[in-house]
Chain A
Amino acid sequence: MPKQPLLEINELKTHFHTERGRVTAVDGVTFHVNEGEILGVVGESGCGKSVTSQSILRLFDEKRLAQYDGEIKLKGTNLLELSDEKMQSIRGNDIAMIFQDPLSSLNPVFTIGHQIAESILLHQNVSKKEAYEKAVEMLRLTGIPAPEKRVKEYPHELSGGMRQRVMIAIALSCEPQLLIADEPTTALDVTIQAQILDLIVEINKKLNMGVIFITHDLGVVAEICTRVVVMYLGQIVEEANVVDVFENPLHPYTRGLMKSVPQIDGDRSEKLHVIEGTVPALDNIPKGCRFATRCPFADELCVEKVPELREFKNGQKARCWHAEKIAEEDQEREDQYV
């Protein structure tokens, strides 16, 4: 019996009530995160990565906008059954989150010290003075120079990279067990990206904290994640170890994503691979396999019947009728080269 995972998501569904009726943005997602593990969640824009991550914290307005189904268990406690008050005590304390755009994720009218200390004051029984001291300490931990001076500054006085560090400082201020990072480096330039990634990995090791790292950047996934979940149109289409995903992708969508990454030693006259078409709208979901409209392998079976997520060797899972065939073809091609 393996030990209990830190976070266990079972058949999570997130529905939204919209003017065009109810849409299901996340449709039956199941995955888990272990302690100290960095799980990558990959997919195009609009495939439900961010909705999944925000559903974990129940950030959508359940009174009017959203409805959740399924289970989200943090160390055995189902978060979807908790009261609002209980949930508030988990947000920022047990599970913290950093967002995509650090420029707009900090409140412009409060000092950064105030914003870090607020989180500490909410979840820990400390005085204001202690909270501010902790805020300075957190800024130092995230590598911000002259933190004593910076705490008194406002977000607009900091650069994008600095602001993302502040976001990380806020997220880590209560030493969460799980950090959800929703494309934390997308809005930053490359050198800053690398620094922020290093910081997240370092803290993950230091605090043995689980991380869900949402991104569409496969390079980042290869660099820091141990396991990967690939999402398409609100569902998981593939789940595997990071090595298997890169060496032996089973789902055509994953293969497409891999091929869309430019290779530095590749032929430059060759056009970069694109996955044809766009993600269908949520109120227009294909009847069979959701990827069938864009899949080069799709046949009648795919259009007609919905494939289940099936398990292959090494615990690799894929939602495709033709996964075996695709794997075989890959094998043959490789054999030819040898």
Chain B
Amino acid sequence: MFNYIIKRILSLIPVLFIVSIAIFLLIHITPGDPASIILGIDASQEQIDELRQQLGLDLPVYEQYIRWILGVFQGDFGTSYFSNEPVTTSIIEHLKPTISLAILAQIITIIIAIPLGIAAANRRGTVADQSIMGVSLLGMSIPSFLLGLFLILFFGVKLGWLPVAGYQPLEAGFFTHLKYLIMPAISLGAIQAALVARMTRTSMLEVLNTNYIKTAQAKGVKNRSIVYKHALRNAFLPILTVIGQTFGILIAGAVVTETIFNIPGIGQLIINSVERRDYAVIQGVVLFVTLSYVFINLVIDLLYGLIDPRVRLDND
């Protein structure tokens, strides 16, 4: 197990290396110059050149890359051109709301989707099944920003129960924190829930048709126990995969939702830094997102082993 984790972490190095080159090149071939954006349109060419020199932007691209990547190896992702904050600091700062949001959205997803998926599988072909699948199709089809706007309109504006937008950190109190996050979490979670519910249904249906479920029935196992003990655990692997993927998406891609609800998360950080051509921040964030994707996948793979003894890895 331990060896396996080490192996997985080592195999990260080439991935991150390739990703880092790709981001770096991509950013540097897109038009737009940070120096002229920082100084504004009135700046003279000399001023711009001077700033470019300060920022190291006058160096050849490969040299800039080497400087940056050496810094990364020492845990230094560079400094934002605008705020002069270390990139690591601003990632951590913006990560807090995003993580809170992702976790809440994921909890909502799981609480809604898995029981519904199981219920649909148990009642396949009935009205209940068809309505659950119908609603989930609707959930998948509604863009999260639209759902977000509807929620704001209804709960924020019409009923006034929840704040229309904004963010309060956990330090402001758990319920205040929750109050600001609940609507964005729902609008993010709805699509994921629809996906997970469908996956759960399909996976459960497949497992419920297997021979070992018949064996369990023939042993006299009660229906509840067949569904929740014998079937669910077997059906859980594909569900877990989808949950892992959606969590990755929630961390990286809540851009639109964060913008609508004005949450200072990773999404906002990306947008702002792209607008300002804040190279160091963009590179840092993308690298960080890659890292978190790979990390989530590692966790999922380890969970597989926990659920299914056939993928247990302690023998190698």
Contact = CB atoms under 8 A, between A and B. Distances in A.
Please give me the 5 A-B residue pairs with the lowest Cβ-Cβ distance, nearest first.
A91-B220, A92-B220, A92-B219, A97-B218, A107-B212
Interface string B216-251: 111111110000001001100000000000000000
Interface in B179-220: 210-212, 214-220
A104 B309 contact: no
Interface size class of B (residues with CB under 8 A): 20 to 34
Given A104-B210, A105-B211, A106-B212, A91 B218 contact: yes
- What secondary structure prevails in chain B residues at the interface with A? helix
Contacts of B307: 109
Given A108-B309, A108-B310, A156-B310, A122 B215 contact: no
A99 B211 contact: yes
A106 B213 CA distance: 8
Contacts of A96: 218-219
A154 B233 CA distance: 15
A167 B212 CA distance: 10
Interface of A: 54, 57, 59, 64, 84, 88-93, 96-97, 99, 101, 104-109, 118-119, 122-123, 154, 156, 167, 170
A99 B220 contact: no
A94 to B, nearest CB: 9
Contacts of B211: 99, 101, 104-105
Contact of B125 (A64, A92, A105, A106): A64
B218 A109 contact: no
A108 B234 contact: yes
B234 A107 contact: yes
B219 A99 contact: no
B127 to A, nearest CB: 12
B19 to A, nearest CB: 35
Given A101-B211, A104-B212, A105-B215, A88 B234 contact: no
Contacts of A93: 220
A104 B213 CA distance: 10
Given A105-B215, A170-B215, 7 more contacts: A57-B217, A59-B214, A88-B222, A91-B219, A105-B212, A119-B220, A123-B220
Contacts of A119: 219-220
Which of B214, B217, B220, B234 counts the most chain A CB atoms within 10 A? B220
A122 B125 CA distance: 31
Interface of B: 124-126, 210-212, 214-223, 230, 233-234, 307-310
16 contacts: A59-B217, A59-B218, A64-B126, A84-B223, A92-B219, A92-B220, A96-B219, A97-B218, A99-B218, A104-B212, A105-B214, A106-B215, A107-B212, A107-B216, A108-B212, A119-B220
Contacts of A104: 210-212
Contact of A109 (B220, B223, B308): B308
Given A101-B211, A156-B310, A167-B215, A109 B221 contact: no
B218 A108 contact: no
Contacts of A91: 217-220
A44 B308 CA distance: 37
B214 A107 contact: no
A175 to B, nearest CB: 14
Nearest to B310: A156
Contacts of B308: 108-109
Contact of A122 (B126, B210, B221, B310): B221
Contact of B220 (A64, A90, A156): A90
Nearest to B124: A64
Nearest to B218: A97
Nearest to B307: A109
A93 B221 CA distance: 11
B214 A109 contact: no
A57 B215 contact: no
Nearest to A87: B220
Which of A84, A99, A109 counts the most chain B CB atoms within 10 A? A109
